[in-house]
Amino acid sequence: MSILVDERTRVVVQGITGREGAFHTKQMLEYGTVVAAGVTPGKGGREVEGVPVFNTIKQAVEEEGVNVSCIFVPPPFAADAIIDSASAGLEVIVCITEGIPVLDMVKVASLLKNEKSVLIGPNCPGIISPGKTKVGIMPGPIHKPGPMAVISRSGTLTYEVVYQLTGTGLGQSTCIGIGGDPLIGTTFIDHLKRFKEDPETEGVVLIGEIGGTAEEEAADYIREEFNKPVIAFIAGQTAPPGRRMGHAGAIISGGQGKAEDKINALQAAGIRVALNLGTLGETVQKVMEKS
């Protein structure tokens, strides 16, 4: 099984006529994703890689039965794209766009409280259920089906971890990049709850980084309610206070968000923390063999 997306997923790409949207639409199609429609206002009636383009999400839903969106819309317009997808009732919204103004995301967060849509991102690589579908920009060939879930704040670290897992023979059930911005749609805990109920997910790799308290909160949840093995890695262990590490959310401020604090919280919850990224795959393999 997988969570949120599978071979039945029908994707609409918002911003499909742009360079990034068109490129990744092709990559998703080649992986086997059912990209059923694209949306670019004012460009309806065109095709991109054989995918019909509509002016609105509502049209794409009515004509092609799409249920998941993937957003490649420029930052000033991306929040409106998320709102359009949520208002159209799409089940999952994956926002790849980086640099959306925080105030725009505050409006999005307020609206999503009253909608059924699950937002992944923004500023994320997306979600992939290996062998079934990918919605986003992840390199498909490094993934393979299997029992390990991956939840990560970092896109590039997700790829490295998946590469190591596949190299040790451990495939993945679903891999999710939740995004590195200060305000994102879903958290570690949101997806841990889903993986807890997925019978084919046997363990979880959690990739965190400095900034915020998401990892500490996840550690509390895992200690109290999660009954599957979790292996973690925290990026930015040598980062000084006040230094931003790639993501807007990855900054130590107000005495919070240090890697040491996150590692301590995870270890206190009984979670195996790999301190060396290069050996993470081997660490996961050892933990899963003992479980």
Catalytic residue among 24, 143, 191, 247, which? Answer: 247
What's the rounded Cα separation, in Å, for the pair 152 and 180? 9
The Cα-based distances of 206 to 51, 86, 115, 167, 201 in angstroms read 35, 27, 27, 18, 13
Residue 203 CA to its chain's centroid (Å):
17
What's the rounded Cα separation, in Å, for the pair 157 and 163? 10
The set of residues, in sequence order, having a beta carbon less than 8 Å from that of 141 and lying 6+ positions away, is none
Residue 234 CA to its chain's centroid (Å):
17
Maximum C-alpha span of the chain? 57
Please indicate whether residue 191 is annotated as part of the active site: no
Which residue type is seen at 83?
I
CB atoms within 10 A of CB 178: 27
* Strand, helix or coil for residue 175: strand
As annotated, the active-site residues are 247
